[in-house]
């Protein structure tokens, strides 16, 4: 039947069907066949052959029963047990005289089919039907070959009675498969709906987060621009807009499906400077794990601030190792690097990355020294100013 084992209702239904088939097969063997075998023991050509056939069926019932009661698959042993059933049938029908095939001495005909159901009902309806059909045809063929064709009509009646009991079980198995397929399809549809709802909720939350970022950074600048209060002749004002544009590009890049999110977002930060004619050099060395979003923002924030003010050249280097990554930036800011006049609450990295994200404006007013700031996301920012050159390094250590 090749049922999906991971489906609990399917497993329970299939187990119940297998137990019912086991009970019928054992009852037929010991309640129907054994009394006939004992009653006609002295009439068989070889009682040992009949006992051997009965013993094979008993062994099959025992081995299969243990696995079925424990709700385990018959596995490859299924085919060995099926061969034993066929051998038992052959021993039983060849151990009696030809004229006794349609008598009560032939105890196996009504039993073999149930053992076929026992071994194959969980494997497939087609396989079970094939076994029952082959067993019935073989019985008719044997009757004709041994010169008992005149009893075929009697065998038709007996076969109709036996198959009339066995085929409903097979039909029940087929119906069960249909119910299982319907239930599985309904379960899959429900899972798809739940997944779609979860994705929609995630997208909604993601859009709200983006809007929150834009509301504190870009919206105030756009408002000033639309109302005419922004003085674009002021280099600091232009710098604020340049940095905001770079942040916007980074925000969009954060949601792209890429192999290396940090490198992708850093390129987004550098893209605007490259478009304005600033010579941008980006080098990478080594491999690094992917930092979380907050750490990536803290790593790219210093480069974003410096690149937004560079006038001629920016050199950015990513140096990675299995334990972390370092982003180094060397540039010549066009104005004094005393921090950007941020709108109130306007740094998204500051909002999410802790002290490291705020290291730019608050911790680097010194233009001729160094400043180290350790962030809560494992990012440490170091800044060194030498004349007109500014060097900033952001280091992130992965948690072990």
pLDDT score, position 400: 67
pLDDT score, position 9: 63
Residue-level pLDDT, tens digit, the chain, 400 residues: 444 444 556 667 778 888 999 999 999 999 989 999 898 888 888 889 999 999 999 999 999 999 999 888 888 889 999 999 999 999 998 888 888 888 888 898 889 999 999 999 888 888 899 999 999 999 999 888 888 888 888 889 988 988 888 898 888 888 877 877 788 888 889 999 999 999 999 888 878 877 777 777 778 888 888 888 878 788 788 888 888 888 888 888 888 889 999 999 998 888 877 777 788 889 999 989 999 988 998 899 888 888 777 778 889 999 999 889 999 998 876 654 544 444 433 444 433 333 333 334 333 333 444 555 555 567 888 888 877 788 889 999 887 6
Around Cβ 201, how many Cβ atoms within 10 Å? 10
pLDDT score, position 333: 66
* Residues found in the chain: 400
pLDDT score, position 335: 55
Q: What kind and span of H or E run contains 324? A: strand 324-333
pLDDT score, position 85: 94
| DSSP string computed for 157-212 | HHHHHHHHHHHHHHHHHHHHHHHHHHHHHHHHHHHHHHHHHHHHHHHHHHHHHHHH
Place of tokens 């907050």: 294
Alpha carbon distances (Å) from 236 to 225, 282, 335, 349: 14, 26, 8, 20
Burial of residue 396, with CB atoms counted within 10 A of its CB: 0-12 exposed, 13-18 middle, 19 or more buried: buried
């Amino acid at each position: 039947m090749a049922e999906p084992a991971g489906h609990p209702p399917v497993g329970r239904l299939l187990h119940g069907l297998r137990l019912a088939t086991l009970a019928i097969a054992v009852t037929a063997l010991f309640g129907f066949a054994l009394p006939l075998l004992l009653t006609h023991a002295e009439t068989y050509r070889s009682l040992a052959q009949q006992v051997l056939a009965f013993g094979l069926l008993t062994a099959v019932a025992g081995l299969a029963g243990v696995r079925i009661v424990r709700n385990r698959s018959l596995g490859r042993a299924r085919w060995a047990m099926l061969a034993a059933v066929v051998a038992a049938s052959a021993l039983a029908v060849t151990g009696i005289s030809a004229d006794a095939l349609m008598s009560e001495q032939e105890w196996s005909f009504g039993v073999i089919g149930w053992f076929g159901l026992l071994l194959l009902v969980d494997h497939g309806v087609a396989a079970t039907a094939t076994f029952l059909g082959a067993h019935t045809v073989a019985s008719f063929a044997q009757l004709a070959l041994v010169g008992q064709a005149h009893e075929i009509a009697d065998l038709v009646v007996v076969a109709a009675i036996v198959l009339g009991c066995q085929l409903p079980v097979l039909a029940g198995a087929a119906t069960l498969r249909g119910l299982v397929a319907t239930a599985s399809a309904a379960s899959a549809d429900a899972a798809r709906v739940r997944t779609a709802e979860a994705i929609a909720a995630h997208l909604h939350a993601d859009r709200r987060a983006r809007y929150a970022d834009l509301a504190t950074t870009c919206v105030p600048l756009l408002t000033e621009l639309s109302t005419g209060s922004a003085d674009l002749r002021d280099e600091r004002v232009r710098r604020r807009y340049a940095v905001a544009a770079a942040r916007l590009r980074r925000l969009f890049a954060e949601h792209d499906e890429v192999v290396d999110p940090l490198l992708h977002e850093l390129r987004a930060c550098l893209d605007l400077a490259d478009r304005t004619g600033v010579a941008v050099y980006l080098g990478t060395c080594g491999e690094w794990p992917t930092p979380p979003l907050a750490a990536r923002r803290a790593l790219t924030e210093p480069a974003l601030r410096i690149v937004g003010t560079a006038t001629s050249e920016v050199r950015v280097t990513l140096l990675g190792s299995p334990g972390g990554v370092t982003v180094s930036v060397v540039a010549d800011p066009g104005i004094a690097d005393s921090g950007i006049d941020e709108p109130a609450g306007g740094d998204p990295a500051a909002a999410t990355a802790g002290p490291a994200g705020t290291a730019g404006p608050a911790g680097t007013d010194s233009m001729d020294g160094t400043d180290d700031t350790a962030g809560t996301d494992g990012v440490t920012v170091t800044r060194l100013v030498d004349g007109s050159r500014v060097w900033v390094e952001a280091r992130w250590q992965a948690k072990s």
